[in-house]
Chain A
Amino acid sequence: GAVVSQHPSWVICKSGTSVKIECRSLDFQATTMFWYRQFPKQSLMLMATSNEGSKATYEQGVEKDKFLINHASLTLSTLTVTSAHPEDSSFYICSARDLSGGLETQYFGPGTRLLVL
């Protein structure tokens, strides 16, 4: 089946640094990808919708200048957490929308654990 990968799988960084997380669709083209954030023992919350070749659409309450999203190709979207702070520590999950085969499906990546010290 379709696979979505994320890199890195986990990252530890110092407060104030920027961290880039990649989301790739490995065997299908994804015009739309999604970024979620999951705090410990909580549910997944949609942060933004990433559209290939255009600006991302952010959910209410998500700072677009802090969470930069770039969807430069049909198989890659990146999330950059700028000037990360300890409160940004979370589990970040991407998903990619697959429209091939006539049946729309979203596939989730394995997630990236971010710890900001």
Chain B
Amino acid sequence: AQKVTQAQTEISVVEKEDVTLDCVYETRDTTYYLFWYKQPPSGELVFLIRRNSFDEQNEISGRYSWNFQKSTSSFNFTITASQVVDSAVYFCALSEAMWNFNKFYFGSGTKLNVKP
């Protein structure tokens, strides 16, 4: 079974629209980390956020915000007022205490197309 599921394969929005990328995870560990990475066409992964399992407080960073809900095992990512530069593939990832946080389980990614 997949540990991280990103059901949205590809999303297209028009600039200035808000968009939410979904991430659902599965783990038996009580201690784990969740991540979001951005992968532009160049391929380099850009770290966006890390959240540990004990911190359910939502976070906002500029136009980015994250909604972590343990009750539904979700860690959704919202971009407000999207811009063309936001176009990329976004990956959600999970690392578990069981593996000493060594193993990263990546979701399949969501490709975001922001059109001008």
B106:A44 contact, CB within 8 angstroms? yes
Q: Which residue of B lies closest to A104 (CB)?
A: B101
B107:A108 contact, CB within 8 angstroms? no
Please report the C-alpha to C-alpha distance between residue A43 and residue B5 in the assembled complex, in whole angstroms: 11
How many B residues, CB 8 Å from partner?
A: 17
Q: Does B78 contact A (CB under 8 A)?
A: no
Residues on B with C-beta less than 8 A from A36 are 104
Against B, the Cβ 8 Å flags (1 = close, 0 = not) of A9-38 are 000000000000000000000001010100
Q: Does A113 contact B (CB under 8 A)?
A: yes
Dominant secondary structure at the A interface: strand
A32:B91 contact, CB within 8 angstroms? no
A43:B91 contact, CB within 8 angstroms? yes
Please report the C-alpha to C-alpha distance between residue A105 and residue B37 in the assembled complex, in whole angstroms: 13
Please report the C-alpha to C-alpha distance between residue A43 and residue B102 in the assembled complex, in whole angstroms: 17
Residues on B lying within 8 angstroms of A by beta carbon are 37, 42-45, 47, 50, 91, 95, 101-104, 106-109
Q: A44-B106, A107-B47, A110-B42 are in contact. List 10 more A-B contacts (CB 8 A).
A: A42-B109, A43-B91, A43-B106, A45-B106, A49-B102, A95-B104, A106-B95, A108-B44, A110-B44, A111-B45
A-B contacts, 29 listed (Cβ < 8 Å): A32-B102, A34-B102, A34-B104, A36-B104, A42-B108, A43-B91, A43-B106, A43-B109, A44-B91, A44-B104, A44-B106, A45-B106, A49-B103, A91-B43, A93-B43, A95-B104, A97-B102, A104-B101, A105-B50, A106-B95, A106-B104, A107-B47, A108-B37, A108-B44, A109-B44, A110-B42, A111-B44, A111-B45, A113-B43
